[in-house]
């Protein structure tokens, strides 16, 4: 099964974001998941300490349009969408919200991780999500169980 990993990126450093994705990718990969991730193919950003929400740089794969289209395409390919919003802080992740909307539109099994105090805790997010977990560990346990049942 293919799983798309989503979560807040803006304002964070490349290494921090890649580290978070690699942790989840390694764990889920052990259970047969094929990982799709918005940071794939962006090693040219490795020196970035503060990723921006737009106008990232002049690299062809990091233009606003390239990011928008590639993320939408990857979501169309996935079976499961996982958005971990636990590290959002006080900044709404518009990109992750767009990705969740696409996942809902494409009828992807959508799992969101956030607690009730999260800035993203909103009726639209709740309705677009198939399942909302308040912590990552139960979400990962669910994904393991799901992988083992197919």
pLDDT in tens, 14-29: 677 778 889 999 999 9
Q: Nearest CA to 130 among 104, 150, 149, 106?
A: 104
List, for residues 61-71, the tens digit of each pLDDT value. Answer: 777 788 889 99
Check: CB of residue 78 under 8 Å from CB of residue 105: no
Delimit the domains of the chain by residue range. 2-149
CB 49 within 8 A of CB 18: no
Q: What is the 3-state secondary structure (H, E, C) of 78-96?
A: CCEEEEECCCCCCCCCHHH
Topology annotation, domain 2-149: Rossmann fold (3.40.50)
pTM: 0.88
Q: What is the pLDDT of residue 110?
A: 98
């Amino acid at each position: 099964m293919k799983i798309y990993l989503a979560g807040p990126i803006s304002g964070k450093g490349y290494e921090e974001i890649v580290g978070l994705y690699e942790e989840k990718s390694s764990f889920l990969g052990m259970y047969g998941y094929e990982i799709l991730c918005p940071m794939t193919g962006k090693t040219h950003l490795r020196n970035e300490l503060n990723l921006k929400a737009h106008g990232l740089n002049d690299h062809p794969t990091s233009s606003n349009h390239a990011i928008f289209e590639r993320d939408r395409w990857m979501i169309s390919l996935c079976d499961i969408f996982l958005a971990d919003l636990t590290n959002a802080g006080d900044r709404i992740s518009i990109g992750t919200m767009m990705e969740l909307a696409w996942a809902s539109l494409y009828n992807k099994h959508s799992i969101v991780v956030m607690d009730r105090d999260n800035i993203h805790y909103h009726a639209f997010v709740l309705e677009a999500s198939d399942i909302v977990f308040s912590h990552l560990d139960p979400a990962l346990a669910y994904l393991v169980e799901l992988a083992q049942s197919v």
